[in-house]
């Protein structure tokens, strides 16, 4: 049994069957990559995992509990964090404030009326946030408005925000899209490091094969809303079905 078990999930948008009969099992503490051509339904699948969409059929179990019917914040509090395809950060806040919010959510839960104490008095939160910024190499940007950063930096901030929650399952939707090569390599190193050091499971959607093959323990190929194959990386490269549906297309 994996930490995440997706069974027979289907999702329809009007006339479009975006997902049909998706089965996916993600092993605990592994890095599982989901690849597939544009429009294959990868993001839609993630949406079904975090409560953004409710699938029409099937079940999604996280650590033995169903996530279906729960609000996104509840699913997050269960231990699933998600990095979006287009960065979702608090653009009006500073980078440090962005980093503090998930720390508060981790410590205080979904709601806490802490309206009188000053923020700097929250030593533990400040320390955690500063620490994470250093890990992400962003300490010098701490007082910058998050909206003013480059797309790559926003993405890295978002990854940092998700990591500071110490999630058990981290979902990444094309985390290196829009990043410079150097930043991409940094991100790979960072993800490698955290997956080695921490008890964390990572599911990553990625178009960049360099990223996929440097990180993934297991790969699922999705095409037209259905998983084509699920296998180890070395077998995926040579699989003719995959070449046809995906690699062949981009070559």
Partner 1 sequence: MFKLEKTDQTLLIVVGILTLFAPFILNPFPEGSAMAQFNAGYPDLMQRFVIFGIFAIGFNILFGLTGYLSFGHAAFLGVGSYAAVWMFKLLSMNVIPAIILSVVVAGLFSLLIGFISLRRSGIYFSILTLAFAQMMFALAYSVLTPITGGETGLQLALDDPRIFGASQTPEGNIPVPGLFGLEMRDSFDLVMGSWVFTFNIGYYFCAMVMIASFYLAIRIFRSPFGLMLRAVKSNQQRMNYTGLNTRPYTLAAFVISGMYAGLAGGLMASMDPLAGAERMQWTASGEVVLMTILGGAGTLIGPVLGAGFIKYFENIFSKINSTILHEWFAFLPDGLEDFIVAILYPFIGKGWHLTLGILFMMVVIFLPGGLVEGGQRIRSWLQKRKSEKNTPNGSTEPAE
Ligand X SMILES: Nc1ncnc2c1ncn2[C@@H]1O[C@H](COP(=O)(O)OP(=O)(O)OP(=O)(O)O)[C@@H](O)[C@H]1O
The interface with ligand X within residues 24-63 (CB under 6 A) comprises 36, 38-44
Q: Residue 141, Cα to own-chain centre: how many angstroms?
A: 23
CA–CA distance from 85 to each of 44, 159, 206, 225 (Å)? 11, 11, 10, 18
What gap in Å lies between CA 241 and CA 227, rounded to an integer?
Answer: 11
Q: Which of 22, 40, 89, 191 binds partner 1 (CB under 8 A)?
A: 89
Q: Is 44 in the site for partner 1 (CB under 8 A)?
A: no
User: Least separation, in Å, of the C-beta of 138 and partner 1?
Assistant: 17
User: Least separation, in Å, of the C-beta of 31 and ligand X?
Assistant: 19
Under 8 Å CB-to-CB from 240, ≥6 apart: which residues?
A: none
**Residue whose CB is nearest to Mg ion in the complex, by number:** 43
Q: Is 13 in the site for ligand X (CB under 6 A)?
A: yes
Among the listed residues 84, 83, 46, 53, the one whose alpha carbon sits nearest the alpha carbon of residue 68: 53
Binding mask 147-186 for partner 1 (x = CB under 8 A): --------------x---x---------------------
* 36 vs 102, beta carbon nearer ligand X: 36
The burial class, CB within 10 Å (0-12 / 13-18 / 19+), for 113 is: exposed
Q: Is 104 in the site for partner 1 (CB under 8 A)?
A: yes
Binding mask 27-56 for Mg ion (x = CB under 5 A): ----------------x-------------
Q: Is 187 in the site for ligand X (CB under 6 A)?
A: no
User: Least separation, in Å, of the C-beta of 173 and ligand X?
Assistant: 7
Asked whether 80 and 171 are in contact (CB, 8 A), the reply is yes
* 27 vs 52, beta carbon nearer Mg ion: 52
* 106 vs 131, beta carbon nearer partner 1: 106
Helices 123-135/95-108 angle, 10° precision: 120
Q: Is 111 in the site for partner 1 (CB under 8 A)?
A: yes
Q: Near partner 1 by CB under 8 A, which window of 6-14, 20-28, 110-118, 223-231?
A: 110-118
Q: Is 119 in the site for partner 1 (CB under 8 A)?
A: yes
Binding mask 190-229 for ligand X (x = CB under 6 A): ----------------------------------------
Asked whether 75 and 82 are in contact (CB, 8 A), the reply is no
Among the listed residues 166, 208, 146, 213, the one whose alpha carbon sits nearest the alpha carbon of residue 183: 208
Angle at 110 between CA 109 and CA 112, to 5 degrees: 75
Binding residues for ligand X, rule CB under 6 A, total 12
User: Least separation, in Å, of the C-beta of 78 and partner 1?
Assistant: 9
HSE (CB half, 13 Å, CA atoms) of 20? 8
């Amino acid at each position: 049994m994996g930490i995440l078990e997706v069974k027979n999930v289907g999702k329809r948008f009007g006339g479009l069957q975006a997902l049909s009969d998706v089965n996916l099992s993600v092993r605990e503490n592994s890095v599982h990559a989901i690849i597939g051509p544009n429009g294959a339904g990868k993001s839609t699948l993630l949406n079904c995992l975090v409560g953004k969409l409710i699938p029409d059929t099937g079940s999604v179990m996280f650590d033995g509990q169903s996530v279906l019917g729960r609000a996104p914040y509840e699913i997050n509090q269960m231990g699933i964090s998600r990095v979006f395809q287009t960065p979702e950060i608090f653009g009006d806040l500073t980078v440090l404030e962005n980093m503090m919010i998930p720390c508060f959510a981790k410590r205080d839960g979904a709601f806490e009326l802490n309206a009188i104490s000053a923020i700097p008095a929250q030593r533990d939160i400040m320390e955690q946030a500063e620490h994470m910024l250093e890990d992400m190499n962003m300490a010098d940007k701490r007082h910058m408005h998050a909206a003013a950063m480059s797309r790559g930096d926003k993405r890295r901030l978002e990854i940092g925000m998700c990591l500071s929650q110490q999630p058990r399952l981290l979902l990444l939707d094309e985390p290196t899209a829009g990043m410079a090569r150097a930043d991409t390599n940094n991100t790979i190193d960072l993800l490698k490091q955290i997956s080695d050091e921490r008890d964390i499971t990572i599911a990553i959607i990625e178009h960049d094969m360099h990223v996929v093959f440097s990180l993934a323990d297991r790969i699922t190929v999705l095409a037209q809303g259905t998983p084509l194959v699920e296998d180890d990386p070395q077998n995926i490269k040579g699989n003719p079905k995959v070449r046809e549906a995906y690699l062949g297309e981009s070559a």
